């Protein structure tokens, strides 16, 4: 074994074929090993008493106890980073949001047909989820493991790099751009619930699979004073409204006169994500300049770091969530190291940072 031991994973699923596929996918990573599998939560609980895993992959529909109930009991008694892998979110079910509120670190969609082939094709996505979970704040008492970042495409594939001289003069219309990944769903809920109806228009990229974002936006819309919706191509960015980028599509900020809208586009993975925070932030640097505020929150990897630096160079005010309140201090850490962050703030101070966009400097 090398300097850093492998991430131990416990797979809980009542389907033998799914367990077999997940074992094959996970053990193919040099950094991950399946510690054990279990057919239901009761078998899993016995296995955890013998050896505690670093990460759990959990199904929802299982005999004797459903996955959400088990997750709540687990988080109340012995918190272990848990990834939900279920078919129940195939149509955008609110089960996904319920799982996140119960403490799930991430979500993986499991289709009802062709599950084994889908899991094999989703190998990189599953590896990334496990690695992010393993370094999440709930996962470690000491220093987190170092997980390498693979080479990836940048926002250059979606649009040209901004030119500093193009930074716009400040106007009364302000735009807030937020990027988040692992741990961001609950952090965003905390932030958006604190905002009043007169807050600036907000555009958000949260790394989530395609079917989750609509349910996520609906849930936030029920909880928040402001209007929250999954963004559609051409939607206006308005005060008192937050637009969530749809999963599997990039979201770009555009401007026509005094009016801001969003464009929803296909395209390659950027910084290994679609939607990508870098794509959103670069579009804000190009089209909003000093009229924007950029905020990077909890998440694994470095998506958004370069884009936030571009926003800062274009005159935008930029903020990063601090390490103490991040589930995973990856994206903010990279943005800080690159020099794109003007202020580092705790999660509780982000709503005030957003409202500060209403005041001219």
Is 303 assigned a catalytic role? yes
Is 66 assigned a catalytic role? no
Residue 119 has which token pair? 């899991």
123-134 and 16-27 helices cross at what angle (nearest 10)? 80
Buried b / exposed e across 289-310, counting CB within 10 Å, b at 16+? bbbbbbbbbbbbbbbbbbbbbb
Separation of CA 179 from chain center? 8
Least Cα distance to 284 among 268, 307, 266 occurs for 307
Cα(104)–Cα(267) distance, integer angstroms: 29
Is 207 assigned a catalytic role? yes
Cα(163)–Cα(229) distance, integer angstroms: 31
Three-state DSSP at 96 gives helix
Name the active-site residue from 59, 207, 250, 273.
207
Name the active-site residue from 40, 54, 59, 303.
303
CB 115 within 8 A of CB 17: yes
The dihedral formed by the CA atoms of 211, 213, 219 and 225, expressed in degrees to the nearest 10: -160
Q: Which residue has the tokens 């990063």?
A: 320
Least Cα distance to 229 among 238, 237, 240, 218 occurs for 218
How many C-beta neighbours within 10 Å does residue 79 have?
A: 11
Cα(207)–Cα(246) distance, integer angstroms: 9
Name the active-site residue from 136, 181, 276, 353.
181
- Degrees to nearest 5, angle at CA 200 with 197 and 201: 100
Q: Which residues are catalytic?
A: 181, 207, 303
């Amino acid at each position: 074994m090398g300097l850093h031991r492998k991430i131990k994973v416990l797979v809980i699923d009542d389907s033998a074929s799914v367990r077999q596929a997940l074992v094959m996918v996970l053990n193919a990573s040099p950094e991950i090993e399946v510690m054990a599998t279990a057919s239901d939560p009761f078998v899993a609980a016995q296995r955890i008493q013998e050896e505690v895993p670093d990460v759990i992959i959990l199904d929802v529909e299982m005999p004797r106890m459903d996955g959400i109930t088990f997750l709540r009991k687990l988080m109340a008694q012995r918190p272990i980073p848990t990834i939900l892998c279920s078919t129940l979110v195939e149509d955008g079910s609110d089960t996904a949001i319920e799982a996140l509120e119960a403490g799930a670190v991430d979500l993986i969609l499991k289709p009802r047909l062709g599950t084994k082939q889908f899991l094999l094709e989703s190998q990189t996505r599953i590896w990334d989820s496990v690695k992010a979970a393993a370094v999440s704040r709930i996962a470690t008492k000491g220093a987190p493991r170092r997980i390498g970042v693979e080479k990836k495409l940048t926002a250059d594939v979606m649009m040209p790099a901004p030119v500093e001289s193009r930074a716009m003069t400040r106007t009364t219309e302000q735009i807030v751009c937020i990027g988040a990944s692992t741990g961001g769903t609950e952090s965003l809920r905390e932030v958006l619930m604190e905002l009043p109806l007169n807050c600036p228009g907000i555009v958000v990229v949260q790394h989530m699979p395609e079917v989750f974002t609509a349910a996520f936006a609906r849930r936030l819309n029920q909880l928040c004073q402001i209007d929250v919706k999954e963004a559609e191509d051409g939607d206006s960015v308005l005060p008192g409204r937050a637009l969530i980028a749809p999963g599997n599509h990039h979201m770009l900020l555009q401007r026509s006169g005094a009016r801001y809208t969003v464009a929803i586009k296909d395209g390659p993975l950027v910084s290994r994500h679609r939607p990508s925070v870098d794509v959103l932030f670069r579009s804000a640097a190009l089209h909003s300049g000093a009229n924007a505020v950029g905020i990077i929150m909890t998440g694994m990897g470095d998506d958004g770091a370069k884009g936030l630096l571009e926003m800062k160079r274009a005159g935008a005010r930029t903020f990063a969530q601090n390490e103490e309140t991040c589930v995973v201090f990856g994206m903010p850490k990279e943005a800080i190291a690159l020099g794109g962050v003007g202020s580092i703030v705790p999660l509780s101070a982000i709503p005030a940072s957003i409202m500060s966009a209403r005041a001219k400097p």
